[in-house]
């Protein structure tokens, strides 16, 4: 941050992007419902980071937290712009609210990263149950698997997911 | 409680129950069992927050490969434009002039302090004036010689079905390039539309964008100054597109395109 504050933006910014860029982009997509606006949010977040780097106090927060605070503010500004709101019906206007805290932002990316560590077999049965609301029997029919196999995969997948969440410091388990 | 793996394998329904993935009959049966089984109660207590976390998961979207370049270019643009809004540093305090001590002789006390009665004073004054004039002349000459070098020029031609033209020069600066673009007879813009300048890399193609945004303008005729940190030796092609406000990447049609011509290239 000290280097960025002095105007040395190449290497230090690339390092920060490497560490936080993907999480910021996913946060942007989640809360702006548009990949183009998420890209814009990420760019503006780093520009504002440069602008305020001189005021960053490492004793008060980590760089990651600071970035997420800025990202949250940028996302809120983008959502306020009339040109950012796509034309859609009232029923489709299901854009989630901006999280109230950085912890909530971090939770969402932690959960996604934890889920991404699951093997495909475990991830698939959990995804079908959670995202598509299928019962175990429906999942067994969809994947052409014995019901017992689906139950066992779901059980072990949930155990693996719990372990991955604990490993990443997720507050909710 | 000690985890009983055998019991868990016999009753893996606890995971599906936590996810709400048991059908009505199975759920009722399992809940009956749950009332009296501490093993399953403990396991259910562990799985419940895991199931509750799933709706929080951020989407699986991956950032486009060129987003890092765009981020770096955006920050460099801001650096060059000097658009920082930090409070200005406090000006240095100059030391107060020291009053001469009383009783000190009026005679010059340092060899460079010429007394007004010194007969050499007119000569020194003339030489000094000549030196200052020479210094100013040399300084101006050096300043003009050090003006930004033209690194590349562009002759932008309309794409099929498009109208207009533009020329541009890129001058190297300490932190990138200053682009002077002159556009003529570009299409008339609609509400919320603007023109955007892009630098395209060698692998840029439909479905695989390799682009850096170079700035925007909203007039069909005129001269515009923009800044870029893009490596023009790599991102050789300049494109002008017609864009709509609210979009974050190149989505509009390409109006003009041209390749950088290096003024030092003899070919």
The model's pLDDT over B198-231, given as tens digits with 9 standing for 90+, comes to 999 888 887 778 888 888 888 888 888 888 888 8
Higher pLDDT among residues A28 and B118, named by residue: A28
Higher pLDDT among residues A88 and A77, named by residue: A77
Record the tokens describing residue A95, joined without a space.
């854009």
Identify the band that residue B23 occupies on the pLDDT scale cut at 50, 70 and 90: confident
Identify the band that residue B6 occupies on the pLDDT scale cut at 50, 70 and 90: low
- CB–CB of A139 and B15 under 8 A? no
- CB–CB of B53 and A165 under 8 A? yes
Identify the band that residue A107 occupies on the pLDDT scale cut at 50, 70 and 90: confident
pLDDT of A138: 93
Whole-angstrom distance, CA of residue B79 vs CA of residue A13: 13
- CB–CB of B61 and A29 under 8 A? yes
Range scoring the smallest mean pLDDT among A86-95, B190-199, B210-219: A86-95
Please provide the average confidence, as pLDDT, over all residues in chain B.
Answer: 75
pLDDT of B62: 85
A109: nearest Cα among A47, A163, A64, A140: A64
Using the predicted structure, report yes or no on whether residue B122 has a pLDDT greater than 90.
Answer: no
pLDDT of A142: 94
The model's pLDDT over B32-50, given as tens digits with 9 standing for 90+, comes to 988 899 888 888 889 988 9
Identify the band that residue B124 occupies on the pLDDT scale cut at 50, 70 and 90: low
B53: nearest Cα among A163, A40, A52: A163
Q: Considering just the CA atoms, what is the radius of gyration of chain A in Å?
A: 20
Identify the band that residue B160 occupies on the pLDDT scale cut at 50, 70 and 90: confident
A172 contacts in B (CB within 8 Å)? Answer: 49, 52-53
Record the tokens describing residue A38, joined without a space.
């998420």
- DSSP three-state, residue B49: helix
Three-class SS string for chain A? CHHHHCCCCHHHHHHHHHHHHHHHHHHHHHHHCCHHHHHHHHHHHHHHHHHHHHHCCCCCCCHHHHHHHHHHHHHHHHHHCHHHCCCCCCCCCCCCCCCCCHHHHHHHHHHHHHHHCCCHHHHHHHHHHHHCCCCHHHHHHHHCCCHHHHHHHHHHHHHHHHHHHHHCCCCCC
Using the predicted structure, report yes or no on whether residue A159 has a pLDDT greater than 90.
Answer: yes
A165 contacts in B (CB within 8 Å)? Answer: 50, 53
Contact in structure between B222 and B185 (CB atoms under 8 Å): no
- CB–CB of B58 and A126 under 8 A? no
Residue B202 is classified by DSSP as T
Distance between B12 CA and the closest CA of chain A, angstroms: 6
Sheet of B211-217: strands edge to edge? B211-217, B193-200, B237-244, B254-259, B150-158, B165-173, B176-184, B222-228
Whole-angstrom distance, CA of residue B173 vs CA of residue B148: 6
- DSSP three-state, residue B205: strand
Identify the band that residue B125 occupies on the pLDDT scale cut at 50, 70 and 90: low
- CB–CB of A46 and B71 under 8 A? yes
Using the predicted structure, report yes or no on whether residue B239 has a pLDDT greater than 90.
Answer: yes
Contact in structure between B58 and A109 (CB atoms under 8 Å): yes
B249 contacts in A (CB within 8 Å)? Answer: 35-36, 39
pLDDT of B104: 42
Scan residues 18-37 of B and list those with Cβ closer than 8 Å to A.
18-23, 26
pLDDT of A155: 94
pLDDT of A157: 95
**CA angle, B119 as apex, B118 and B124 as ends, to 5°?**
85
- Mean per-residue pLDDT for A74-82? 82
Whole-angstrom distance, CA of residue A96 vs CA of residue A108: 12
- Mean per-residue pLDDT for A120-140? 92
Name the residue with tokens 């340092």: B110
A36: nearest Cα among B40, B63, B150: B63
Identify the band that residue A9 occupies on the pLDDT scale cut at 50, 70 and 90: confident
Pairing of β B211-217 and β B193-200: antiparallel
Q: Using the CB atoms, write b or e for A110-147: b if 16+ within 10 Å.
A: bbbbbbeebeeebbbbbbbbbeeebbbebbbeebeeee
Task: Using a CB–CB cutoff of 8 Å, tell me whether A129 touches chain B.
Answer: yes
Contact in structure between B226 and B244 (CB atoms under 8 Å): no
Contact in structure between B191 and B204 (CB atoms under 8 Å): no
- Mean per-residue pLDDT for A68-94? 68
- DSSP three-state, residue B195: strand
Q: Using the CB atoms, write b or e for B99-109: b if 16+ within 10 Å.
A: eeeeeeeeeee
Q: Which ipTM was obtained for this model?
A: 0.74
Which chain A residue has the Cα nearest residue B27?
A135
- The residues, any chain, with a CB within 8 Å of residue B19's CB and separated by 6 or more, are A126, A129, A130, A154, A158, B47, B51
């Amino acid at each position: 941050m000290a280097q960025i504050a002095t105007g040395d933006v190449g290497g230090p910014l690339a390092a920060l992007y490497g560490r936080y860029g993907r999480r910021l982009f996913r946060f942007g997509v989640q809360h702006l419902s548009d990949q183009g606006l998420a890209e814009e949010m990420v760019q503006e977040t780093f520009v504002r980071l440069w602008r305020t780097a001189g005021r960053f106090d490492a004793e008060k927060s980590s760089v990651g937290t600071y970035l997420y605070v800025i990202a949250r503010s940028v996302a809120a500004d983008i959502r306020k712009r009339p040109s950012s709101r796509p034309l859609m019906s009232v029923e489709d206007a299901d854009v989630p609210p901006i999280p109230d805290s950085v912890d909530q932002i971090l939770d969402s990316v932690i959960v996604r990263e934890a889920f991404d560590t699951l093997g495909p077999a475990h991830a698939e049965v959990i995804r079908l149950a959670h995202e598509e609301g299928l019962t175990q029997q429906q999942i067994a029919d969809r994947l052409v698997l014995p019901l017992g196999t689906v139950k066992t995969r779901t059980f072990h997948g949930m155990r693996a997911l719990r372990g991955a969440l604990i490993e990443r410091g997720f507050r909710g388990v | 409680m000690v985890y009983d793996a055998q019991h868990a394998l016999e009753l893996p329904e606890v995971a599906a129950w936590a996810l709400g993935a048991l059908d009505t009959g199975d759920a009722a049966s399992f809940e009956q069992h749950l009332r009296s089984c501490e093993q399953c109660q403990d396991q259910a207590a562990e799985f419940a927050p895991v199931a509750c976390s799933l709706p929080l998961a951020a989407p699986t979207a991956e950032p486009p490969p060129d987003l890092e370049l765009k981020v770096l270019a955006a920050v460099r643009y801001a650096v060059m434009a000097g658009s920082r809004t930090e409070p200005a540093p406090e000006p240095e305090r100059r030391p107060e002039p020291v009053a001469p001590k009383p009783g000190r002789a009026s005679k010059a006390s340092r060899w460079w302090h010429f007394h007004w009665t010194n007969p050499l004073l007119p000569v020194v004054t003339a030489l000094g004036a000549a030196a200052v004039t020479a210094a100013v002349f040399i300084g101006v000459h050096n300043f003009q010689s050090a003006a930004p070098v033209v690194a590349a020029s562009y002759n932008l031609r309309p794409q099929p079905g498009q109208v207009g033209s533009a020329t541009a020069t890129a001058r190297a600066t300490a932190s990138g390039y200053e682009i002077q673009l002159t556009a003529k007879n570009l299409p008339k813009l609609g509400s919320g539309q603007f023109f955007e300048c892009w630098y395209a890399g060698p692998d840029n193609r439909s479905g695989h964008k390799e682009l850096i945004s170079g700035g925007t303008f909203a007039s069909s005729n005129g001269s515009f100054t923009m800044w870029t940190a893009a490596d023009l030796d790599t991102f050789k092609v300049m494109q002008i597109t017609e864009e709509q406000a609210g979009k974050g990447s190149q989505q509009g049609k390409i109006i003009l395109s041209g390749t950088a011509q290096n003024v030092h290239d003899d070919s």
